[in-house]
């Protein structure tokens, strides 16, 4: 049996719909609108959660008012049903956050992936 853990795509989704690929679960911490009805892998492997994500960043010295304007504009666009549906069609759940939330998420991911890389280097 071949198994693959990957990000989704419209092509992969088409193979799932036609039955060429069987979706066993999602790696998000909870149910995903990208794959309705698919159980989170963490339900069987307690604590397992891995998500691919995208963030928009700016140079360190960008003024806070510019960052805030960009954040409001992007959050507004991502909240529209048409844009959310377009992202979902490509297998991506569009979520907005604050600059502080993105910074905290990046800070939390660094030690997690550093540990994985260090463990793999030892093999």
Q: What is the mean pLDDT of the chain?
A: 89
What are the phi and psi torsion angles at 4 (to 5°)?
-135, 130
Average of pLDDT values for 22-44? 88
Q: Would you state the pLDDT for residue 66?
A: 97
pLDDT digits (tens, 9 = 90+) for 57-110: 999 999 999 999 999 999 999 999 999 999 888 888 899 999 999 999 999 999
The yes-or-no verdict on residue 35 having pLDDT over 90 is: no
Contact status, residue 94 vs residue 84, Cβ threshold 8 Å: yes
Alpha-carbon distance 15 to 106, whole Å? 32
3-state DSSP assignment of residue 69: helix
CB neighbour class for 111 (10 Å; exposed up to 12, middle 13-18, buried from 19): exposed
Say yes or no: 78 and 21 in one domain.
no
- Asked if residue 46 and residue 67 are part of one domain, the reply reads no
Residue 98: give the domain boundaries: 56-123
Looking at the structure, do residues 71 and 46 belong to the same domain, yes or no? no
17 and 71 both lie in a single domain: no
Position 1 scores a pLDDT of 64
């Amino acid at each position: 049996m071949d198994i693959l853990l990957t990000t989704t795509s419209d092509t992969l989704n088409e193979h799932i719909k036609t039955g060429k690929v069987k979706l066993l679960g999602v790696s998000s911490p909870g149910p995903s609108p990208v794959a309705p009805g698919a159980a989170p892998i963490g339900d069987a492997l307690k604590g397992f959660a891995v998500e691919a994500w995208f963030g928009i960043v700016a140079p360190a010295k960008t003024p806070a008012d510019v960052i805030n304007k960009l954040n409001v504009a992007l959050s507004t666009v991502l909240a529209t049903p048409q844009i959310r549906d377009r992202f979902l069609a490509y297998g991506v759940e569009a979520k907005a956050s604050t600059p502080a939330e993105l910074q905290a998420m990046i800070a939390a991911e660094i030690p997690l992936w550093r540990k994985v890389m260090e463990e793999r280097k030892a093999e």
